[in-house]
Structure 1
Amino acid sequence: MRHLTPALAAALLTLAAASAARAEEGMWTFDNFPIARANATLGTNIDQAWLDRVRLSSVKFGGCSAGLVSGEGLVMTNNHCVATCVANLSTQAVNYAETGFAPRSREEELKCPGGTAEILTDIADVTERMHAAGAGLEGQAFTRARDAEAGRIEQEACGGDAGRRCQVVSLYRGGQFKLYTYKKYSDVRLAFAPEDRAATFGGDLDNFSFPRFAIDAAFIRLYENDAPAATPTHFVWNADKPVEGSPVFVSGSPGATQRLLTIDQLMTIRDVVLPMDQLLASELRGRLIRFSEESEENAFIAMDPIVGLENTYKRGRGRMAALIDADFMRMKADGEADFRGRYASGSSTSGADPWGELAAVQPIARELYPAMALLEGGTGMGTTPVAGGSQLFLWARTLVRGAQERAKPSAERLPEYADSRLSGVQSGLFAERPVYPGLEQVRMEWWLSKTREWLTVDHPSVRGLLGRESPEQLSARLVEGTTLADPAVRRALWEGGLAAVEASQDPLIRYLLSIQDETRAIRSDWEEKVQAPTDRASEALAAARFQAYGSAVYPDATGTLRLTYGKIEGSDVPGQRWGPFTTFDGLWDRATGAPPFDVAPRLLAARERIDGATVMNMTLSSDTIGGSSGSPVVNAAGEILGANFDSTVLTQRNAYGYDVRVNRSVIVTTGAVTAALRDVYGMERLVQELGVR
Structure 2
Amino acid sequence: MYARSVGRYSLLSTYAIVAMLIAAMMGGCTPSGEVVSVTERPDSTEGGASAETELPTLPLTAFPAGYDTVRVRPFDLGKMWSIDRVPTSYFQDEYDVAASEEWREHAQYAAVRFSDTCSGGFVSNTGLVVTNHHCAREHITAVEEEGESLGQRGFVASTPGQERTTPNLFIDQLVEVRDVTDEIYEGVRRLRSYVRTERVNDLEERLNEEAKSEDSALRVTVEALYQGARYKAYTYRRYTDVRLVMAPEQQVGFFGGDADNFTYPRYNMDVAFYRAYEDGEPVTPEHYFEWSSTQGSEAGSAVFAVGTPGSTSRLTTVSQVKYERDHGIPNRLAFIEPRIEAMEQFLTNADAGDWPELRNTALSLKNSQKSLQGQLNGIDAYLLARRTANERALQDSIRSVDTLRQHYRGLTRDMEQIQNAKSGVEQRARAFNGFANTQVGSRVLTRAMYGYYIDQLNSSRGVGAQLDAARREADSIADWPVQVERTLIAQRLADVRAAYGPNDPTMQRLFDDKTPEEWAEELASESRLRTQDGAQRLYSQGYRDSDDPSVSLVEAIAPLYFSVVEQLQDFRASEQSINARLNQARLAVFGTEHIAPDAASTLRISDGRVRGYTTDSTEVPAYTTFGGMYERARTKNAAPWDLPERWQAAASDSTLRAAPLNLVSTVDISGGSSGSPLVNADLELVGVVFDSNQPALPNRFLYRTEQARAIAVDSRGIIAALRHVYNAEALVQELVDGYTNVAARP
TM-score (norm 1): 0.86
The structure 2 residue matched to 1:35, chosen from 88, 110, 119, is 88
The structure 2 residue matched to 1:350, chosen from 398, 406, 430, is 406
- Shift of residue 153, structure 1, vs aligned partner: 0.7
Q: Does the 8 A contact of 1:357 with 1:533 survive in 2? A: no
CA distance in 2, matches of 1:252, 1:91: 32
What secondary structure does 2:173 align onto? strand
Q: Does the 8 A contact of 2:229 with 2:581 survive in 1? A: yes
Instruction: Give the aligned partner of residue 309 of structure 1.
Output: 365
Q: Does the 8 A contact of 1:188 with 1:222 survive in 2? A: yes
Q: Deviations over 1:614-640 (max 9, x none)?
A: 000000111111211111111122211
The structure 1 residue matched to 2:171, chosen from 117, 130, 141, is 117
The structure 1 residue matched to 2:346, chosen from 265, 271, 291, is 291
Which consecutive residues of structure 2, in runs of 5 or more, have no partner in the other structure? 1-65, 739-746
The structure 2 residue matched to 1:364, chosen from 421, 431, 434, is 421
Q: Does the 8 A contact of 2:694 with 2:708 survive in 1? A: no
Q: Does 1:544 align with 2:601?
A: no
Instruction: Give the aligned partner of residue 72 of structure 2.
Output: 11
Instruction: Give the aligned partner of residue 640 of structure 2.
Output: 596
One-letter amino acid of the counterpart of residue 55, structure 1: Q
- Shift of residue 656, structure 1, vs aligned partner: 0.3
Instruction: Give the aligned partner of residue 79 of structure 2.
Output: 26
Q: Deviations over 1:469-488 (max 9, x none)?
A: 43333344444455567767
- Shift of residue 513, structure 1, vs aligned partner: 5.5
What secondary structure does 1:211 align onto? coil
- Shift of residue 458, structure 1, vs aligned partner: 4.7
Q: Does 1:673 align with 2:718?
A: yes
Q: Does the 8 A contact of 2:663 with 2:711 survive in 1? A: yes
CA distance in 1, matches of 2:236, 2:443: 27
Instruction: Give the aligned partner of residue 676 of structure 2.
Output: 631
Q: Deviations over 1:114-173 (max 9, x none)?
A: 323212222222222323598646xxxx44433222211111011294523222211111
One-letter amino acid of the counterpart of residue 429, structure 2: M
Q: Deviations over 1:165-210 (max 9, x none)?
A: 2222111111111112221233333322111101122222211111
CA distance in 1, matches of 2:459, 2:76: 45
The 1:691/1:192 distance shift into structure 2, 3 A limit, reads: same
The 1:688/1:505 distance shift into structure 2, 3 A limit, reads: farther
Which consecutive residues of structure 1, in runs of 5 or more, have no partner in the other structure? 17-24, 379-383
- Shift of residue 677, structure 1, vs aligned partner: 2.1
Q: Does 1:46 align with 2:107?
A: no
- Shift of residue 392, structure 1, vs aligned partner: 5.6
Q: Deviations over 1:408-441 (max 9, x none)?
A: 677xx8xxx9x5x888767655559565444444
CA distance in 1, matches of 2:411, 2:432: 29
RMSD: 3.3
Instruction: Give the aligned partner of residue 448 of structure 1.
Output: 493
The structure 2 residue matched to 1:65, chosen from 114, 119, 122, is 119
CA distance in 2, matches of 1:274, 1:196: 29
CA distance in 2, matches of 1:226, 1:45: 39
- Shift of residue 455, structure 1, vs aligned partner: 5.2
Instruction: Give the aligned partner of residue 705 of structure 2.
Output: 660
The structure 1 residue matched to 2:576, chosen from 535, 558, 567, is 535
- Which has the higher Rg, Structure 1 or Structure 2? 2
Q: Does 1:74 align with 2:121?
A: no
The 1:71/1:505 distance shift into structure 2, 3 A limit, reads: farther
The 1:79/1:503 distance shift into structure 2, 3 A limit, reads: same
The 1:491/1:132 distance shift into structure 2, 3 A limit, reads: farther
What secondary structure does 2:81 align onto? coil
One-letter amino acid of the counterpart of residue 641, structure 2: F
What secondary structure does 2:391 align onto? helix
How many residue pairs match? The answer is 660
CA distance in 1, matches of 2:606, 2:150: 34
What secondary structure does 1:526 align onto? helix
- The 5 A counterparts of 1:411-490 are 428=473, 431=476, 435-454=480-499, 456-458=501-503, 469-481=514-526
Instruction: Give the aligned partner of residue 157 of structure 1.
Output: 207
Q: Does 1:553 align with 2:591?
A: no
What secondary structure does 1:389 align onto? coil
Q: Does the 8 A contact of 2:614 with 2:620 survive in 1? A: yes
Q: After the TM superposition, which of the residue ranges 457-466 and 209-218 deviates more from structure 2?
A: 457-466
- Shift of residue 278, structure 1, vs aligned partner: 2.2
Q: Does the 8 A contact of 2:451 with 2:543 survive in 1? A: yes
Identity %: 26
Q: Deviations over 1:197-244 (max 9, x none)?
A: 011222222111111111011122323344433433221122124311
- The 5 A counterparts of 1:370-389 are 370-375=427-432, 377=434, 388-389=440-441
CA distance in 1, matches of 2:458, 2:103: 43
Q: Does the 8 A contact of 1:87 with 1:304 survive in 2? A: no
Instruction: Give the aligned partner of residue 34 of structure 2.
Output: none
Q: Does 1:640 align with 2:681?
A: no
Instruction: Give the aligned partner of residue 22 of structure 1.
Output: none
Instruction: Give the aligned partner of residue 337 of structure 1.
Output: 392
- Shift of residue 541, structure 1, vs aligned partner: 0.5
What secondary structure does 1:11 align onto? coil
What secondary structure does 2:156 align onto? coil
Q: Does 1:238 align with 2:282?
A: no
What secondary structure does 1:563 align onto? strand
CA distance in 1, matches of 2:172, 2:691: 22
The 1:423/1:439 distance shift into structure 2, 3 A limit, reads: same
Instruction: Give the aligned partner of residue 21 of structure 1.
Output: none
The structure 1 residue matched to 2:624, chosen from 582, 587, 610, is 582
CA distance in 2, matches of 1:247, 1:115: 33
What secondary structure does 1:123 align onto? strand
CA distance in 2, matches of 1:190, 1:456: 51
The 1:94/1:186 distance shift into structure 2, 3 A limit, reads: same
Instruction: Give the aligned partner of residue 375 of structure 2.
Output: 319
Q: After the TM superposition, which of the residue ranges 575-584 and 160-169 deviates more from structure 2?
A: 160-169
- Shift of residue 357, structure 1, vs aligned partner: 1.1
The 1:367/1:388 distance shift into structure 2, 3 A limit, reads: farther
CA distance in 2, matches of 1:386, 1:309: 13
Q: Does the 8 A contact of 1:114 with 1:431 survive in 2? A: no
CA distance in 2, matches of 1:297, 1:251: 40
CA distance in 1, matches of 2:453, 2:416: 33
Q: After the TM superposition, which of the residue ranges 332-341 and 187-196 deviates more from structure 2?
A: 187-196
One-letter amino acid of the counterpart of residue 180, structure 2: V
The structure 2 residue matched to 1:56, chosen from 93, 97, 109, is 109
- Shift of residue 678, structure 1, vs aligned partner: 2.4
What secondary structure does 1:340 align onto? helix
CA distance in 2, matches of 1:274, 1:623: 22
Q: Does the 8 A contact of 1:388 with 1:447 survive in 2? A: no
Instruction: Give the aligned partner of residue 568 of structure 2.
Output: 526
Q: After the TM superposition, which of the residue ranges 454-463 and 645-654 deviates more from structure 2?
A: 454-463
CA distance in 2, matches of 1:254, 1:601: 35
What secondary structure does 1:612 align onto? helix
The 1:587/1:122 distance shift into structure 2, 3 A limit, reads: same
- Shift of residue 684, structure 1, vs aligned partner: 2.8
CA distance in 2, matches of 1:395, 1:143: 31
CA distance in 2, matches of 1:629, 1:521: 36
- Shift of residue 550, structure 1, vs aligned partner: 2.0
The 1:477/1:128 distance shift into structure 2, 3 A limit, reads: farther
One-letter amino acid of the counterpart of residue 389, structure 1: G
What secondary structure does 1:522 align onto? helix
